[in-house]
Structure 1
Amino acid sequence: MSAHLPDEQNHFPGLSRIGALLADPGRAAMLWALMDGSARPAGELTLIAGLSPSAASAHLARLTDGGLLALEVRGRHRYFRIASPDIAASIEALANVAQASAAQRPIPRPARTVPVDMRYARTCYDHMAGELSVQLFERMLNHKLLTLHGNMLDATPAGAAQLASWGIDVAAQQSRRRRFACTCPDWSERRPHLGGALGAALLDAWSSHGWVERTERPRILRITPAGHRQFDAFLTN
């Protein structure tokens, strides 16, 4: 008797399709290169993935058709970016799962260290991730500036006041179609940082204040001396 396969749409909608898209190392490399929130040309992604132009074109088409990438046409050039913040957060979460499962394998594996600058402050699509981001998020929770409901968050009155001091209009962020605030797994810290519209707004605000700067290295953020003073004061008060 042949086994009856479950109806994918009812039992695990789309998981096998998404899994197949992520399973190829070349496609995974192109997706990870776009996790800084940038839009990159097809030629650059081809080099990053180490593929031939024809193979890269086929992989990019699959990722776009599958809804993981969005295509932007600029003149004669094609640029690709992660299709949405939720997809970026899912990729970051999968990186966290991959690291955790690798550590549980019985076969000894060489230790893989995370570069200090990558671990301390980096982008996770359009918000900040890394050690500092996790510390700031935990401080917000411990001081009841944010309240946690599952993996979703709300700002308390005290939190709204703190966010306003950083230049964040909570009501404006809550009115956006995007989720206001949510937890996002941090693959280097194994603890969540802040994602959603609020996470993106905070990175924009801290950048505009001159506390955080993007660097020439993809995803890595630099905390300025002024930023260190501001964040240290917030974390210790």
Structure 2
Amino acid sequence: MKRNQINPIPPVALDDSPAHRVPAGDALPPDAPRRSTQAAREVRRNSALRQARTCYHHLAGIAGVELLEQLLDRGWLEPEESQDSRTSYRPTALGLKELQQRSVEAIPATDSRRRFAYGCLDWTERRPHLGGALGALLMDALNAQGAARRQQGTRVVLLGSHFADWLEQPVQPG
């Protein structure tokens, strides 16, 4: 073989042998969302940015994903038809009452250009957190009530000691 010639790699026939099988869980469907390099790094580090951060004006990260799941599980929000691929949500009667008890006025504004409530794909968790006007209202209420606060100069959100109980305990008038 000449010096600068590339040694060809012989073709390998793939069959059903164990060496050629993809382990369960390693095969992703072709339309599965992929993590960016930065998102993969944050997941590996399990960083504060992964735990809780802002996404525009709403809560994201593990805390944001879990908050949306809790709102749905408790029946405070329900999915509604949407014009695009994002799932939109509307508050239920129970949700309106419960959110109002936590100082969140969850009535969709008809004059707002911002969508009221929708699933915003979280870039580290690859599951939706709550976006839109309601997501911003919740973030503002969490901040005002000391359950969460934005770390100055970053997107990191620091969770207060009563963040986990925030949905359990209505705000006491003070």
Q: Does 1:140 align with 2:76?
A: no
Which gives a bigger RCO, structure 1 or 2 (Cα 8 Å, sep 6+)?
Answer: 2
- Partners in 1 of 2:164 and 2:74 — Cα distance? 20
How far does residue 174 in structure 1 lie from its aligned partner after superposition? 5.3
Q: Does 1:166 align with 2:63?
A: no
Deviations 1:65-87 (A, max 9, x none): xxxxxxxxxxxxxxxxxxxxxxx
Residue identity matched to 1:147:
E
How far does residue 175 in structure 1 lie from its aligned partner after superposition? 4.9
**Cα separation, partners in 2 of 1:169 and 1:134, compared to 1, 3 Å:** same
CA contact (8 A) 1:174 1:180 kept: no
Task: Give structure 1 stretches of 5+ with no counterpart.
Answer: 1-95, 103-110
Q: Kindly report which structure 2 residues correspond to 1:208-227, keeping only aligned pairs within 5 A, or say none.
A: 208-216=144-152, 218-227=154-163
How far does residue 170 in structure 1 lie from its aligned partner after superposition? 2.1
Residue identity matched to 2:140:
D
Matched with 2:15 is none
Residue identity matched to 1:143:
R
**Cα separation, partners in 2 of 1:116 and 1:167, compared to 1, 3 Å:** same
Q: Secondary structure at the match of 1:119?
A: helix
- Partners in 2 of 1:175 and 1:162 — Cα distance? 24
Matched with 1:99 is 35
CA contact (8 A) 1:213 1:223 kept: yes
How far does residue 184 in structure 1 lie from its aligned partner after superposition? 0.2
Residue identity matched to 2:69:
E
Deviations 1:192-215 (A, max 9, x none): 000000000110111111111111
- Partners in 1 of 2:116 and 2:76 — Cα distance? 14
Comparing both structures, which one devotes a greater share of its residues to helix? 1
Q: For the pair shown, which has the larger CA radius of gyration, 1 or 2?
A: 2
CA contact (8 A) 1:166 1:206 kept: no
Question: Which range moves more in the overlay, 216-225 or 157-166?
Answer: 216-225
CA contact (8 A) 2:35 2:126 kept: no
- Partners in 2 of 1:143 and 1:228 — Cα distance? 14
Q: How many residues align?
A: 129
- Partners in 1 of 2:48 and 2:153 — Cα distance? 10
Q: Secondary structure at the match of 1:139?
A: helix
Q: Secondary structure at the match of 1:226?
A: coil
**Cα separation, partners in 2 of 1:170 and 1:132, compared to 1, 3 Å:** same
Q: Secondary structure at the match of 1:128?
A: strand
- Partners in 2 of 1:186 and 1:172 — Cα distance? 23
Residue identity matched to 1:134:
V
Q: Secondary structure at the match of 1:134?
A: helix
- Partners in 2 of 1:153 and 1:172 — Cα distance? 11
Identity among equivalent pairs (%): 35
**Cα separation, partners in 2 of 1:120 and 1:153, compared to 1, 3 Å:** same
Residue identity matched to 2:134:
L
